[in-house]
């Protein structure tokens, strides 16, 4: 994915049409959306911004700051209305933005989103120097442990062994837990697609069901033998569900 840099913003941009913005999670990156981005770019303009997880001021590393970053990015690009798709923390940021700027959001797609309840990556992951233990913890993100590559382990290892990055990650994780949206979700009126892995260990199936219950115009779709990042683990099935939903809604 070719990355553009404009001021404080870094993002991938491809395709033409209605604007789709894809938001990654806490330990995620733009590459999480490589397959999905190329697929959607056949019909839409697809933007994948790099969230400033490691550059936010230490005392301001929270959901609201990321939502404000998204606001500034959308304003800088002069987008009219966007379709937001978020995984994990990216879904949480999408929800907060949609609640505050509903006029800017055409529709929502959430997969493994935080915002209600999530199982933390765990304080035990901070045992530094033990890559094998880290590999086991990362494996809980997926149904298929073979998706835990050496590169992924090294990326996470580098993060938790960088004090500056680690402080921000912990602050963001705590903010996600505190920033519960249960009472606000009924205010979301745009069409919302929920695509969830049946074996999601981070935001379990009952979280998806609660989102479905609380968001008025939402539909819930399941992917079996799949964990917390369906767009990575089951890309073709994920894309098929999303395509059908977009067609059904005329988006």
Min mean pLDDT across 46-50, 130-134, 193-197, 216-220 is at: 130-134
Q: What is the pLDDT of residue 122?
A: 47
> Which contacts of 68-75 are long-range, i.e. CB under 8 A and separated by 24 or more positions?
70/21, 70/23, 70/94, 70/97, 71/97, 71/100, 71/101, 73/9, 73/11, 73/49, 74/21, 74/104
- Structural domains of the chain, with CATH: 3-249 (3.40.50.1820)
Higher pLDDT, 124 or 202: 202
Residues 63-119 pLDDT 10s = 999 999 999 999 999 999 999 999 999 999 999 999 999 999 999 999 999 999 887
- Residues 153-170, mean pLDDT to the nearest whole number: 89
Residues 91-101 pLDDT 10s = 999 999 999 99
For 118, the 3-state DSSP assignment is coil
Residue 126 has pLDDT above 80, yes or no: no
Residue 124 has pLDDT above 50, yes or no: no
């Amino acid at each position: 994915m070719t990355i553009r840099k404009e001021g404080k913003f870094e993002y991938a941009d491809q395709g033409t049409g209605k604007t789709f913005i894809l938001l990654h999670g806490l330990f995620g990156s733009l590459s999480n959306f490589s397959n999905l981005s190329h697929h959607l770019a056949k019909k839409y303009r697809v933007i994948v911004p790099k969230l400033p997880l490691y550059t936010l001021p230490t005392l301001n590393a929270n959901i609201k700051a990321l939502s404000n970053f998204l606001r500034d990015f959308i304003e800088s690009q002069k987008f009219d209305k966007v379709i937001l798709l978020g995984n994990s923390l990216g879904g949480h940021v999408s929800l907060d933005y949609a609640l505050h700027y509903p006029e800017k959001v055409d529709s929502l797609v959430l997969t493994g989103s935080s915002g209600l309840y999530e199982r933390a990556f765990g304080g035990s992951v901070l045992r530094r120097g033990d890559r094998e233990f880290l590999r086991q913890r990362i494996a809980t993100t997926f149904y298929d442990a073979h998706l835990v590559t050496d590169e992924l382990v090294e990326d996470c290892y580098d993060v938790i062994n960088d004090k500056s990055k680690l402080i921000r990650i912990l602050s963001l994780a705590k903010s996600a837990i505190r920033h519960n949206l249960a009472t606000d979700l009924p205010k979301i009126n745009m069409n919302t697609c929920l695509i969830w892995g049946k074996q999601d260990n981070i935001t379990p199936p009952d979280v998806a069901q609660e989102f479905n219950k609380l968001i008025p115009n939402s539909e819930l779709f399941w992917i079996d033998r799949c964990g917390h990042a369906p767009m990575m683990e089951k890309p073709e099935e994920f894309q098929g569900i999303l395509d059908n939903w977009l067609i059904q809604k005329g988006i």
